Amino acid sequence: MELPTQRYRVTRADLVRYAGASGDFNPIHWSESFAAKVGLPGVIAHGMLTMALVGRAVTTWAGRPDAIVEYGVRFTRPVEVPDTEEGTEVEVSAVAKDTDDPALVRLDLTATCGGVKVLAQAKAVIKRP
Amino acid sequence: MGLDQSFTGRSYPPSAPYQVGREKIREFATAIGAEDAAYHDPEAARALGYPDVIAPPTFPMVLSMATSRQIVEDPALGVDYSRVVHGDQRFAYSRPVTAGDELVCVNSIESINARGGHDFLTTRSEIGTSAGEAVVTVWTMFVVRGEEG
C-alpha cells in the first residue's frame, strides 16, 4: 500500500539548529568555503537530519511517535542546502508491506531532493497502526 | 593501506553515563521540526505509558556519535578521520529513549571490509540504562575513502 507523500523544507537555519541540538558541528554543514575545499557542491544537510525528517514521515504514517521498532538508511547523495529563504525540500514516500509478524508492518522508504534519491535501502519496521 | 581486519569483534569500555534531559529532548525534537506532543509534553508521554517525554527515533545518535569516537580515534586502529564519510545508519529499539534515563553505550567493531580502495567500518553501540535495561542498538557504517578516492 502506498502512503501519502510527506514534504519537509530544509534551510540553512535548520542546519545550524540541528548542529546545535545534535552536537555535530562539521563545517560542511555551515561553511560554504569549507564545503568547497573538500570538493562539495555547497553546504549540505547532515545525513542524520535527513534521516530524522524521514523518521518524522514514518511516525506520521504510523500515527504514533513511539511506533518504530527498526529503522535504517544508506546515505547515497548529499542534500545541498542553498543560502536562500526557501532552502530546499526533501520529499518522502513509502510503500507498506506485511511482515511475518502480524503486529508489524515494513515500510520501504524513498527520500528525494530535487527529484534525486538521497537515500538507498531505507526501511523501517513499525507497530501496526 | 586498509584497516586491520583483526579489529573485528573488538569491544571498548562502556561510556560514561549520559543523563537524558527533558529540555535536551525538546531541543532535539524542535531542531528536526517534530511536533508530536509526546516529545514535548510529559503528560502526553504519560498517556502513552512513559514516565516522561520520549525522544524522536534518531536521538540516540547524540550519544552514539560522541562515544563511537573511541573507535574512530583509536590510534591502534588508525582511521584517518578527514577521509571518513557516514555510509549508513541503523537502529533497533527496545523502547524510546525517555527523559530521566541514565544511558551507557558499549561500542564494538561489528565488521571491517575493504572494497574498491575504500574501507567500510561498521560499529555497533549497545545503548542501555546504567541499571542494565536494553534501550536501543545502533549500527553506524563509516566509509574511509582510499587515498585515490
Asked whether the beta carbons of residue A65 and residue B48 sit closer than 8 angstroms, the reply is: yes
Locate A53 and state its grid cell. Answer: 525528517
pLDDT, residue A27, reads 94
- Strands B18-19 and A119-127 turn out to be unpaired
CA distance B149 to B83: 9
Please report, for residues A16, A124, B57, the alpha-carbon distance to residue A56 in angstroms, rounded to integers and kept in the order given. 19, 12, 9
Question: For residue A2, with 0-12 CB atoms within 10 Å meaning exposed, 13-18 middle and 19 or more buried, which class applies?
Answer: exposed
- List, for residues B67-108, the tens digit of each pLDDT value: 988 999 999 999 988 888 899 999 999 999 999 999 999 999
Residue in chain A closest to B54 (alpha carbons) equals A66
DSSP per residue, A72-129: EEEE-S--B--SSSS-EEEEEEEEEEE-SSTTEEEEEEEEEETTEE-EEEEEEEEE--
Question: Residue B122 pLDDT > 60, yes or no?
Answer: yes
* Cβ contacts from A onto B, under 8 A: 100
pLDDT, residue B83, reads 85
As a whole number, mean pLDDT of residues B112-138 equals 96
Q: Which phi and psi (to 5°) does residue A57 adopt?
A: -60, -40
Asked whether the beta carbons of residue A70 and residue B92 sit closer than 8 angstroms, the reply is: yes
Nearest CA distance, B56 vs chain A (angstrom): 7
CA distance A36 to A41: 6
- List, for residues A3-54, the tens digit of each pLDDT value: 999 999 999 999 999 999 999 999 999 999 999 998 899 999 999 999 999 9
Nearest CA distance, B89 vs chain A (angstrom): 6
CA distance A3 to A28: 33
- List, for residues B29-45, the tens digit of each pLDDT value: 999 999 999 999 999 99
Chain A residues within 8 A (CB-CB) of chain B?
Answer: 8, 14, 17-18, 20-24, 47-49, 51-53, 55-56, 58-59, 64-66, 68-75, 121
Tell whether B120 lies on the interface with A, counting CB pairs under 8 A.
Answer: no
CA distance A70 to B85: 23
Of residues A4 and B2, more confidently modeled:
A4
Beta bridge partners of B5: none
